[in-house]
Chains A and B, each alone.
Chain A
Amino acid sequence: MSTKKIIFFAVVIVCLAVAAWGYRMYNKPRAGVADQQTDRTLSAAELYRLYAANEHAADSMFLGKVIAVSGVVQSVDQSQPNAPTILLETGAAGTINCSMQPGDSKPIKQGMQLQVKGKCTGFLMDVNLVDAIVLP
């Protein structure tokens, strides 16, 4: 086989590999938090206190980060099928609003003490977490 042919086939193989990688990356499903490293662990009261005191500073610590938050369940909203929203008490007017990952079937009831792992999306009346799961 001539050198030109070898180079041609090598270029084709590289192009196909890049295209396959790009296709795979483009279609990669959104990652849940289960396999992601926890960036910070703290209580619901502490997380809320930090946000209420200084939203901008708290965003720099938590926004987009995977955090584990412990607290008592204030309420459970089952209005979204297979993906409840739970509120963790903070001792203040606001809560930690956790949108649970669909299919996380562990039963959650008001008054339970839980540790929830999720991705922080910021602060409205509450501090919000998405893709949340209950840690054992």
Chain B
Amino acid sequence: MMKQLIMVLAIAAIAGTAKAQNYFTRSGFVGFYSTTSQESVKAENKQVYAVIDPTKKALAFTLLVKGFLFEKELMQQHFNENYAESDKYPKASFNGTMEGNIGTAPGEYPVQVNGQLTFHGVTKPVTMPATVTIQQGKLSAKGNFTVKPEDYNITIPALVREKIAKEIKVQVQADCLPSK
């Protein structure tokens, strides 16, 4: 219950601004992709919680690591048990701000996102180009960046090192509705 309260309070820190219109989703998307000459790996999580405040240009994402689904059963098992250690570190989160003009009129607004990504118990700064789209009362945010597994204390065994890319591509998308 305490963790839930902390999570709700973190979101409230963004969502609680007076009269600001915040946007929220419980079904955002984060996918990561590793491509080498030996193997392609992809994992996708479609239960990403995101809140975006275009007025304050702030955003926060959080997800359950076990919600990353792989095409292969064994890969998913190894990811959770050996790499992400999802029993020990069940959640990942991102808190950040956006640089760039975000208008209130429908349209597409390019921004630069700067923030802190916490994964596997390690918090590191992340920057990424992103696009914020306002359309029909909805706000969509889309961006991508790369991470190195070793930056998050993830050790890849030598046996499979050549099968996993040195830099993992991460795609993020959140289609948010105005929060009530």
A residues with a Cβ closer than 8 A to B are 25-31, 52-55, 63-64, 77, 79-80, 83, 85, 87, 94-95, 97, 99, 121-126, 128, 130-131
Contact = CB atoms under 8 A, between A and B. Distances in A.
A29 B64 contact: no
B46 interface: yes
Nearest to A123: B4
Interface of B: 1, 3-4, 7-8, 25-27, 29, 46-47, 49, 62-64, 66-67, 69-74, 76, 90-91, 175
Given A79-B175, A122-B90, A97 B26 contact: yes
Contacts, number: 83
A128 B72 contact: no
Nearest to B1: A52
A80 B1 contact: no
B64 A128 contact: yes
A54 B175 CA distance: 31
Contacts of B66: 63-64, 121-122, 130
Contacts of A64: 66
The 6 closest A-B pairs by CB, nearest first: A85-B27, A121-B66, A77-B27, A79-B175, A122-B64, A30-B73
